[in-house]
Structure 1
Amino acid sequence: MPPRRVITGRSQEPRQRFAEELRLLRQGKGVSLRDLAKVVGWDPSQFGKLENGHTLGGPEVVEALDQYYGTPGLLLALWELAMADPSRFKEQFRRYMVLEAEAISLWHYGGSVVHGLLQTPEYARELLATGGLDGEELDQQVDARIGRRKLLEGDGAPPFRTVLSEAVLRNSRRQQLEYLAAVSERSNISLFVLPFGAGLHGLMDTPVTYLRLPDGRTVAYVENIVRGELIEETSKVEDLQRRYDAIRDMALNPAESRSFILRMLEEVPCEPST
C-alpha cells in the first residue's frame, strides 16, 4: 500500500500540529500575542509558549481560544491528541506509556510516591523538580503527567487498584491527600493503604505497576530513582504478582483506607491560599 499522501503539508506530530494551528489562527486574525492576551485573558508569554510548543497549557485556555477563533472543539481536540501522545515522555517511559493507554485494567504498589495517574499538579511538580527538572522542561513534564489522568476518567475508564504505603501519605501535602480521598470514591478506583507496622514484604524497595492488556497478557513496570524496566516474561510477572497479592492482603480494605486518609486530613493543617 502506498504511503498516505500529506495534503496540507502541516506537521503530523500532535504537539507540533497543535502549536502550528495556534500560530496560524492568530496570524490569520492579524493580532499580536499582547492583543490576544487583552481579549482572551492570561499572560502574553503563555500564548507564546503554546505557539512555540514549549507547553500545552490547560483545557480552560484552549477552550477560550476555540471560542475566540470561532473553531468550536477543534483546538480542544488537537490539545487532547497532543496530551495523549507518548512522544512527550522521556524515551525510557514511552513503550510503557503506549501500553498504559491500551490497558484494560491496572494495579499498582507504591512504597514511596503516588502513582502518576493519581498525582495532583502540585505533587507532580515538586516530585519532578527533585529529579533536577526546571523551567520549560519541568512545565512540559508536569503537563504530560497530569494529562495522563484522563485515562481514569469517564464511563469507559479501566479499573485501577493501588496499594500505597503509609509513608507515601505521610510525605504528601494536603491537596494530594484530598485528591486521593476524592478519587477513592470513583467506582473504577480501589485504594488500599498499607499502614506502618504491617511487616516486611516482597516489594519493600520496588514500586511496580501491572497492566492487563487486550490480548490477555499482563506486563509489569518496575522503576527506581535511576531507571524503569518493562517486564514481559510470564514467569517474572507472575512472581511479582504473587508478591503484590500478599501485600494487598496485608493492607486496609478500601473503606478503611479512605477513613485512614480522612483521619490524616484532620491532622494536616490547611495550606495558606496564595
Structure 2
Amino acid sequence: MPPRSAVTGRSTDPRRRFAEELRLLRTHRGESLRQLGKALGWDASLFGKMERGQTIGSPEVAEALDQHYGTPGLLLALWELAAADPTQFKERYRRYMTLEREAVSLWHFGVSTVHGLLQTDDYASAVLEVGGTKGEELTRQIEARIGRRELLMGEDAPPFRTILSEAVLHDARPWRKQLEYLVEASERANVILHVLPHGSGPHSLVSTDVIFLRLSNGLAVAYTENAHHGELIEETGAVERLQRAYDSVRDRALSPDESRKFVMRMLEEVPCEPST
C-alpha cells in the first residue's frame, strides 16, 4: 500500500482525528486488532482504546504505527496534536486523579518538581503560578492539593516511594518549609524518599516525571509528564518498559537514610525563613 496523506473533511478535534485515522488505516488494510497487536508487539486492547479515543498511547506507538502503515510522520504528527490539546490533558489528568485515590501503592520519580502529594502550600502556589494559574483558579487548585496530602496520612495510607533529582531540591531551597516537609514525610512508615544526586550518570527518564499506581486488581498504570504534556499509560508492555527505566534510576539513587541526611544538610545551608 502506498503512503497515504491525511484525510480531509474529517473531525477537527485532535484526539478524534487521531482515532479516526488509526481506525481507517487498519480497516483499509483488512487487519484485526489482534493481528495488529501481534505484528507490533503491543496488546491488541491498546489499539482498540486508541481507536475509540480512550487513550492516545505513546509517541513510540505512533512511530511504530507509522512504520507499519507506511505513513512516515503522519501519525506521530497527529499524536503530537492530540497530546498538546489542553482539553485532553485535563481529561487524562482527571482519570489519573481517580486512579490515584484508588491506588494501593505509588512510586514516583521527579526530575522537575516535588510531587503534589508532598507539596507545601507556598511551593504548590509557586509551581502553579509558573504554569500560568492565577486568581480564583490558583486558590482552588492549592486547596485541592492540600486535600490530596491526606491520601498519604492515616493508618490505611498506601505506600509511597519518591525519587527526587537533586536539581528538584535545589529549586525548592527558597521554600525552606518544603524541604522540612520532605524530611518530616520521610519519617512516616509509608513514605520512602530517595535523592538522585548530580553525577549519578545518564538515564532514560532524564526529562520525564513519572508516577506508577498499583491498583487493587494487581495491574499498574503510569502517568508521565514533561513541559509539554501529560500522558496516562495503561498498556501493560509500555508500563513495564517505564518500570524498568524507573528501577534503573532507583539503583543510582541514595538510600532512604542517606537521602534524609542529604536534605537535612541542605536545610543547614538555607535561611530559617523562606525567601520572598
Instruction: Give the TM-score normalised by structure 2.
Output: 0.66
Identity level (%)? 64
How far residue 130 of structure 1 moved from its aligned partner, in angstroms, is: 0.6
How far residue 272 of structure 1 moved from its aligned partner, in angstroms, is: 6.0
How far residue 227 of structure 1 moved from its aligned partner, in angstroms, is: 2.0
Does 2:131 correspond to 1:131? yes
Distance verdict in 2 for CA 1:234–1:264, change over 3 Å: same
Give the conservation status (yes or no) of the 8 Å contact 1:114–1:168.
yes
CA distance in 2 between counterparts of 1:127 and 1:272 reads: 15
CA distance in 1 between counterparts of 2:274 and 2:99 reads: 39
RMSD between aligned alpha carbons?
Answer: 1.5
Deviations 1:15-71 (A, max 9, x none): xxxxxxxxxxxxxxxxxxxxxxxxxxxxxxxxxxxxxxxxxxxxxxxxxxxxxxxxx
Q: Which residue of 2 aligns with 1:247?
A: 249
Q: Which residue of 2 aligns with 1:103?
A: 103
Give the conservation status (yes or no) of the 8 Å contact 1:211–1:219.
yes
Task: Indicate the SS of the match to 1:260.
Answer: helix
CA distance in 2 between counterparts of 1:195 and 1:101 reads: 30
Distance verdict in 2 for CA 1:272–1:241, change over 3 Å: closer
CA distance in 2 between counterparts of 1:138 and 1:226 reads: 20
Q: Which residue of 2 aligns with 1:144?
A: 144
Give the conservation status (yes or no) of the 8 Å contact 1:92–1:227.
no
Distance verdict in 2 for CA 1:166–1:273, change over 3 Å: closer
Task: Indicate the SS of the match to 2:202.
Answer: coil
CA distance in 2 between counterparts of 1:272 and 1:146 reads: 19
Q: Which residue of 2 aligns with 1:162?
A: 162
How far residue 273 of structure 1 moved from its aligned partner, in angstroms, is: 9.7
How far residue 226 of structure 1 moved from its aligned partner, in angstroms, is: 2.8
Deviations 1:157-176 (A, max 9, x none): 00000000000000002110
CA distance in 1 between counterparts of 2:91 and 2:150 reads: 21
Q: Which residue of 2 aligns with 1:52?
A: none
**Given residue 241 of structure 2, which amino acid in structure 1 is its aligned partner?**
D
Deviations 1:74-101 (A, max 9, x none): xxxxxxxxxxxxxxx9434100000000
Q: Which residue of 1 aligns with 2:200?
A: 198
Among 267, 270, 273, the alignment partner of 2:272 is 270
Moved over 2 A (4+): 89-92
Distance verdict in 2 for CA 1:142–1:149, change over 3 Å: same
For structure 2, the residue ranges without an aligned partner over 5 or more in a row are 1-88
Give the conservation status (yes or no) of the 8 Å contact 2:109–2:211.
yes
Q: Which has the higher contact order (CA 8 A, sep 6+)?
A: 2
Give the conservation status (yes or no) of the 8 Å contact 1:219–1:232.
yes
How far residue 225 of structure 1 moved from its aligned partner, in angstroms, is: 2.2
Deviations 1:206-264 (A, max 9, x none): 10000000011000000122321100111110000000001001000000000000000
Give the conservation status (yes or no) of the 8 Å contact 1:220–1:232.
yes
Distance verdict in 2 for CA 1:128–1:255, change over 3 Å: same
Give the conservation status (yes or no) of the 8 Å contact 1:108–1:210.
yes
Among 212, 216, 221, the alignment partner of 1:210 is 212
**Given residue 153 of structure 1, which amino acid in structure 2 is its aligned partner?**
M
CA distance in 1 between counterparts of 2:177 and 2:90 reads: 27
**Given residue 201 of structure 2, which amino acid in structure 1 is its aligned partner?**
G
Task: Indicate the SS of the match to 2:189.
Answer: coil
CA distance in 2 between counterparts of 1:253 and 1:244 reads: 15
Task: Indicate the SS of the match to 1:179.
Answer: helix
**Given residue 169 of structure 1, which amino acid in structure 2 is its aligned partner?**
L
